[in-house]
Chain A
Amino acid sequence: MQNELNDKHTKKLLQKSAEKPSKGFSASVMERIAAAKEGIVYQPVFSKKTWFLIAAMFVGLLVVSFVFSSPSAEITGKAAEIKANAKAIIGTVNGFFGSLSPTVVISVAVLGLLFFADFFLKKKRAA
């Protein structure tokens, strides 16, 4: 069977079946090897600590909206005092933003969001 397998016809045929990868193949391989050698590790954009902070802010927002949607009669003592103070602060903020046009407010909010995102996106670092 071994002799039978060693036929020149099939060899001749198969020599024509070699395939070539794309042109930049070697360069891509070397790039990947260099990257692996440098050990570049990409960290997640948001760290665990940041996610906890976001979650805490969300929970805080829920609590505040719950407190302000409750009728005043149900809240007494210290809680009522906190509520009154919070209302005063919100009133001041509302007064300030109320004097600005909606375009300015939206622009400031968007810019703030962009600075915030930029700060976290820059956290990618080489390990």
Chain B
Amino acid sequence: MSQQEDLYYIQRVLNGDMAAFEFLVDGHQEMVFTIALRIVRNREDAEEVAQDTFVKAYQSLSSFKQESKFSTWLYRIVYNTAISKTRKKQLETAAEDVGEYGDHVMEQTVSQLDQIKMEEQKQYISAALEALPQEEATLITLYYLSENSVEEIHEITGLSKANVKVKLYRSRKRLYIELQRLLKNEMLEIL
């Protein structure tokens, strides 16, 4: 859903057309649910967090100042709601370095994944994301799936821009290492 469409429906809601909010829910439910799932790690809880997020967004829609994108504002709500749900002040994160690897590892992983069925590819990626600490899985989801900028991720999470970059870099490395591990295990099982 484009920013312009968002603003159109927001205006309708603010003018008293409650049903127009359903268009916003339809347009953003997948990303809101995915972000919630990366943090709470459980589909049932993620659904509850996603619902709470939309109810909160509806109730405070008049406070949305349009200084940022509606999606950025919405993701900040889901991020905070999901963290409150986990009852932790900070998300679980891994500090240790994951070692060096080159572009060839990425290319090799992607080409290996391309050789298997789409449904299985999705399972591997989900399993690798689940193996990552919550914060890292959330950051790479925001950056690569939702295509938020570093600036927007800083707005959503409250992390400094430099910190977002470092963590994104590390998360991406860890994702490939995890995928390689999962694919190796698969190969060993086949052999």
Contact = CB atoms under 8 A, between A and B. Distances in A.
Residue among B26, B37, B47, B145 with the highest chain A CB neighbour number at 10 A: B145
B154 interface: no
B30 A20 contact: yes
B150 to A, nearest CB: 7
Interface residues of A, number: 29
Given A14-B141, A17-B125, A21-B47, A4 B31 contact: no
A11 to B, nearest CB: 5
Contact of A29 (B55, B129, B179): B55
A14 B145 contact: yes
Contacts, number: 104
Given A1-B169, A14-B140, A9 B34 contact: no
A30 B21 contact: yes
A29 B55 CA distance: 7
A125 interface: no
Given A29-B51, A33-B58, A10 B175 contact: yes
Contacts of A13: 109-110, 113, 125, 144, 175, 179
B140 to A, nearest CB: 6
Nearest to A28: B51
B106 interface: yes
B98 interface: no
A32 B18 CA distance: 12
Instruction: Output the residue of A1, A9, A11, A32 with the most chain B CB within 10 A.
Output: A9
Interface in B105-121: 106-107, 109-110, 113, 118, 121
Interface string A4-25: 1101011111111111111001
Contacts of B51: 25, 28-29, 32
B77 to A, nearest CB: 13
A19 B143 CA distance: 16
Given A33-B18, A33-B21, A21 B29 contact: yes
Given A13-B109, A13-B144, 6 more contacts: A15-B144, A17-B122, A25-B50, A29-B51, A29-B55, A30-B18
Interface of B: 18-19, 21-22, 25-26, 29-31, 33-34, 37, 46-47, 50-51, 54-55, 58-59, 103, 106-107, 109-110, 113, 118, 121-122, 125-126, 129, 140-141, 143-145, 147, 150, 165-166, 168-169, 172, 175, 179
Closest 3 CB pairs of A and B: A14-B144, A21-B33, A9-B106
